[in-house]
């Protein structure tokens, strides 16, 4: 099993800058380990850049997170081998080549049946991640937390960016729309047609107002009913949370849930067959006192427990 140094041995602000102070994995396939990987790319950003620095900031903020979960009554590192696999290689000036590279690296590093957590990066990286996880796991349900649907067809003539990720994923057969759901959608739109994107593709939607009205427990129940028992890819855009709690992001939208509501909803997904998860769109240049990075680290930490429980269901 993995081991992190005790605070009695070394202060948490010392030592290596891996996620949660986890051991660093090899540069090859991680085998039976759950791997944490950074994806430091923001070439798909349409407004405020800086998400390429997200993985580094999230890792640094994670230093204060420990391996025992008092709610799930699980010690992470007694349940699985978990390592930080470092960053995937990206090409800052070429988004399509980056997506192909991410796809290839996921297949090589994660391997068949492997479960993994990815730290972005902007939301365009999810397309490359989905290509890899789909190849390893087969058809995927998508659970997508975001203030935006990311179902645009193109942006300024470009078909690959953080606003088109899930349209491309549907077109490429990476996700099953009939088992997929988006949570937290809100904000102003340029045209009336944009409000119908999810319906157009058959993806279920729980907008921010519904989420806040029904609460975390019932929202999590609706997600569970939608995705069923098959493999799930969980994508968490930090801008789904209100910018009062997560200002450090590229396209913030007011009127979202608190960090507590978001985390409680994630905890309600325990037992889903989560194959992989990402946490994206953290832009440290716009953060204040690292609160966005800490929230993203905590979301990722919660995600590791979802992966562990999917790996070893009760």
Binding-site annotation, residues for Mn(2+): 123, 146, 148, 150, 237, 239
SS3 49: coil
Burial class (CB in 10 A: 0-12, 13-18, 19+), 8: exposed
Report the C-alpha gap between 314 and 299 in whole angstroms: 22
Report the C-alpha gap between 235 and 65 in whole angstroms: 21
Are 80 and 1 in contact by the 8 Å Cβ rule? The answer is: yes
- H-helix or E-strand containing 118? strand 116-120
Q: Estimate to the nearest angstrom the gap between the alpha carbon of 163 and the chain centroid.
A: 15
DSSP letters for 4-43:
---TTTS-TTSS--SGGGPPBPPSS--TTSEEEEEE---T
Structure tokens at 96: 């399509």
Binding residues: 123, 146, 148, 150, 237, 239
Structure tokens at 152: 């645009």
Report the C-alpha gap between 202 and 180 in whole angstroms: 8
Residues with Cβ < 8 Å from 99, sequence gap 6 or more? 124, 125, 127, 128, 131, 160
Nearest C-alpha neighbor of 129 from the set 95, 159, 174: 174
DSSP strand pairing (68-69 vs 181-185): unpaired
């Amino acid at each position: 099993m993995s081991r992190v140094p005790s605070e009695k041995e070394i202060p948490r602000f010392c030592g290596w800058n891996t996620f949660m102070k986890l051991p660093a994995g090899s540069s090859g396939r991680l085998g039976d380990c759950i791997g944490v990987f950074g994806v430091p790319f923001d070439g798909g950003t349409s407004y405020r850049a800086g998400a390429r620095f997200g993985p580094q900031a999230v890792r640094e903020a994670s230093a204060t997170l420990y391996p025992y979960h008092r709610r799930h009554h699980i010690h992470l590192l007694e349940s699985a081998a978990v390592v930080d696999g470092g960053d995937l290689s990206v090409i800052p000036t070429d988004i399509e080549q980056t997506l192909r590279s991410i796809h290839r690296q996921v297949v090589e590093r994660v391997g068949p049946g492997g479960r993994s957590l990815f730290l972005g990066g902007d939301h365009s990286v999810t397309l490359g991640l989905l290509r890899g996880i789909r190849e390893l796991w087969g058809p995927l349900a998508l659970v997508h937390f975001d203030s935006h649907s990311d179902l645009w067809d193109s942006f300024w003539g470009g078909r690959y960016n953080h606003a088109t990720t899930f349209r491309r994923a549907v077109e490429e057969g990476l996700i099953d729309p009939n088992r997929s759901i988006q949570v937290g959608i809100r904000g102003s739109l340029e045209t009336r047609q944009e409000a119908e994107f999810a319906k157009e593709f058959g993806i279920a939607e729980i907008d921010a107002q519904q989420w806040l009205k029904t609460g975390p427990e019932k929202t999590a129940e609706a997600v569970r009913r939608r995705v069923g028992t098959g493999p799930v890819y969980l994508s968490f855009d930090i801008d789904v949370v209100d910018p009062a709690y997560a200002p450090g992001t590229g396209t913030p939208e007011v009127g979202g849930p608190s960090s507590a509501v978001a985390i409680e909803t994630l905890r309600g997904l325990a037992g889903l067959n989560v194959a992989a998860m990402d946490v994206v769109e953290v832009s440290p240049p716009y953060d204040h006192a690292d609160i966005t990075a800490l929230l993203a680290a905590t979301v990722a930490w919660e995600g590791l427990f979802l992966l562990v429980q999917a790996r070893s269901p009760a």
